[in-house]
Chain A
Amino acid sequence: GAVVSQHPSWVICKSGTSVKIECRSLDFQATTMFWYRQFPKQSLMLMATSNEGSKATYEQGVEKDKFLINHASLTLSTLTVTSAHPEDSSFYICSARRGSSYNEQFFGPGTRLTVL
């Protein structure tokens, strides 16, 4: 159990457009989901924490108006990159926390975003 999926697995878009990435916990309910970004040969960087039914908490330096997060249900969180630019090209990975234990986080397979 504890499978997290992401959709799409990759996306190419033009500069200035918006892209939505979905993160789903398939076999458990996740009150908390996390969004990370990973540039080539770099570590995963936490962008924001998404709590079901409330506003997301963003890490310092992450623009909340650019990276819109919606956690509308216990199994789905979405990240929308608005007015994407080439520098937003990256590997976006979500994770979902099962239960109240902060230890148990399960990661999705990631979404490769390329902005032309």
Chain B
Amino acid sequence: SQKIEQNSEALNIQEGKTATLTCNYTNYSPAYLQWYRQDPGRGPVFLLLIRENEKEKRKERLKVTFDTTLKQSLFHITASQPADSATYLCATRGGADGLTFGKGTHLIIQP
């Protein structure tokens, strides 16, 4: 089964800089990867989806890349703000159409 790995250590970034989060998958190349934001005590909120045949996807200050050679997706937040502080989850299709998630990376944007 597919396994999603994210660096669950907290990532501290200075406000205004670009935050880059990493998601690695271990087995077959998934048809797509999704990125979610999760705030404490809340459910995940969908941010972006990137398909296997797409190199890059953008949405406002967010950018996601998909590298099938490295088995990796990178998630970038440009011009980061303290309000961007949250846990960011990477996910792909899992069993019975549900999603398989990574543990998430806790991002802290320091003013």
Residues of A within 8 A of B111 (CB): none
Q: Which residue of A lies closest to B39 (CB)?
A: A109
Complex CA distance for A39 and B12, rounded to whole angstroms: 23
A49 B98 Cβ-Cβ under 8 A:
yes
In the assembled complex, A34 has its CB within 8 A of some CB on chain B: yes
Q: Mostly helix, strand, loop or mixed at chain A's interface?
A: strand
Q: Which of A14-22, A64-72, A77-85, A100-108 lines the interface with chain B?
A: A100-108
Cα(A105)–Cα(B32), bound, Å: 14
Chain B contact patch, size range: 20 to 34
The answer to whether A109 and B42 touch across the interface, beta carbons within 8 angstroms, is yes
Interface pairs (21), CB distance under 8 Å = A4-B43, A34-B98, A36-B98, A41-B8, A43-B89, A43-B104, A44-B89, A44-B91, A45-B101, A46-B94, A49-B97, A49-B98, A59-B95, A59-B96, A59-B98, A103-B49, A105-B99, A107-B45, A107-B46, A109-B43, A110-B41
